[in-house]
């Protein structure tokens, strides 16, 4: 099974299909999103549960891919699809995908953390030995900044590659029965072959996010202008910031279902299902 390369404009088509799936069952999708988000919040506050959440995400995504497929075939979307990835025979391979993703994330983070901690310790020791204002300290400080910047670039690049490796993997497991490692390799190869449509898709999502945020960004600028002209800045800025945060949360909730639908659409487009 070889992934095919599709035109860059398909990135917009993926998002459009995701929006169509969302529009076909908005209340059910919102219920799924709120339930999913609530579980992630619980996992984030319970000690060590975050690791389980990382492993479980491909299982949730696999179930949602089944829900999208049911919608495409004219069947009703149900909340139970969120948990379909936890059923045999999909449970074990999807859990392995999640475990591999978690392990790879840890491996990526360790050298970056080592660089940041190492440069910080070196800077501290140099400052202690040089007293204050030494040129050696300044040079080491610049080196530390460069090292941290390089570490962050490596982290970003590795995160993008990991995201590519997991993008198609749940769908490949649930629809094609591909083994976990093979599914992640195939997903990475498919994503690298379709950098154009993925770039267009990301820009389209960012464009939607920017458009919906413009009114509240304008409110923040208005509050800042009022403060600079002698008005009381604090109340308006607090309202603007609070409103921006709430509005951003609402937008994220509304964007998640179309993005899941776009993931399904991209799988069908690239793998011909």
Break the chain into its structural domains and give their ranges: 10-271
The position carrying tokens 């389209």 is 204
Q: How confident is the model at residue 116 (pLDDT cuts 50, 70, 90)?
A: low
Beta carbons of 33 and 40 less than 8 angstroms apart: no
pLDDT score, position 125: 64
Rg (CA), the chain: 23
Exposed/middle/buried for 230, CB within 10 Å: 0-12, 13-18, 19+?
exposed
pLDDT score, position 66: 97
DSSP-derived letter for residue 178 is -
Beta carbons of 14 and 201 less than 8 angstroms apart: yes
Q: 149 by DSSP, 3-state: which?
A: helix
Beta carbons of 155 and 112 less than 8 angstroms apart: yes
The position carrying tokens 């509050």 is 223
Q: How confident is the model at residue 173 (pLDDT cuts 50, 70, 90)?
A: very high
The better pLDDT of the pair 171, 111 is held by 171
- Helices (runs of H) and strands (runs of E) counted in the chain: 9, 0
Mean pLDDT value across the chain = 84
Task: Read off the pLDDT of residues 49-96 as tens digits, 9 standing for 90 and up.
Answer: 777 888 999 999 999 999 999 999 999 999 999 999 999 899 999 999
What percent of the chain is modeled with pLDDT above 90? Answer: 52
Q: Look at 60-64, 183-187, 269-273 and tell me which has the smallest mean pLDDT.
A: 269-273
CA distance 255 to 134: 51
pLDDT score, position 106: 86
Beta carbons of 22 and 29 less than 8 angstroms apart: yes
What percent of the chain is modeled with pLDDT above 70? Answer: 75
Q: Whole-model pTM?
A: 0.82
Return the structure tokens found at 95: 């859990």
| The pLDDT of residue 131 is above 60 | no
CA distance 183 to 69: 19
Q: How far is CA 80 from CA 63, 73, 93, 256, in A?
A: 8, 17, 19, 17
């Amino acid at each position: 099974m070889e992934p095919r390369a599709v035109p860059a404009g398909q990135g917009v088509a993926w998002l459009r299909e995701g929006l169509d799936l969302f529009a076909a069952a908005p209340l059910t999708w919102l219920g799924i999103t709120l339930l999913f988000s609530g579980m992630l919040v619980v996992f984030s506050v319970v000690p060590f549960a975050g690791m389980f959440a990382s492993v479980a995400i491909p299982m949730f995504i696999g179930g949602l891919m089944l829900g999208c497929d049911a919608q495409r075939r004219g069947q009703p979307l149900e909340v139970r699809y969120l948990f379909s990835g936890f059923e045999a025979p999909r449970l074990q391979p999807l859990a392995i995908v999640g475990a591999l993703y978690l392990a790879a994330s840890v491996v990526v983070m360790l050298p970056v953390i080592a660089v940041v901690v190492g440069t910080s310790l070196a800077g501290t020791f140099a400052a202690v030995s040089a007293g204050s204002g030494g040129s050696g300290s300044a040079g080491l400080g610049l080196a530390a900044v460069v090292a941290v910047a390089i570490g962050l670039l490596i982290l970003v690049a590795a995160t993008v590659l990991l995201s590519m490796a997991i993008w198609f993997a749940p769908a490949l497991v649930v629809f094609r029965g591909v083994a976990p490692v093979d599914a992640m390799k195939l997903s990475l190869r498919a994503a690298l072959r379709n950098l154009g449509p993925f770039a267009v898709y990301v820009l389209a999502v960012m464009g939607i996010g920017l458009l919906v945020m413009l009114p509240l960004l304008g409110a923040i600028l208005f509050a800042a202008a009022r403060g600079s002209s002698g008005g009381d800045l604090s109340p308006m800025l607090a309202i603007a910031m609070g409103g921006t945060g709430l509005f951003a949360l609402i937008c994220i909730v509304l964007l998640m279902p179309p993005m899941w639908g776009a993931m399904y659409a991209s799988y069908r487009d690239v793998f011909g299902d």
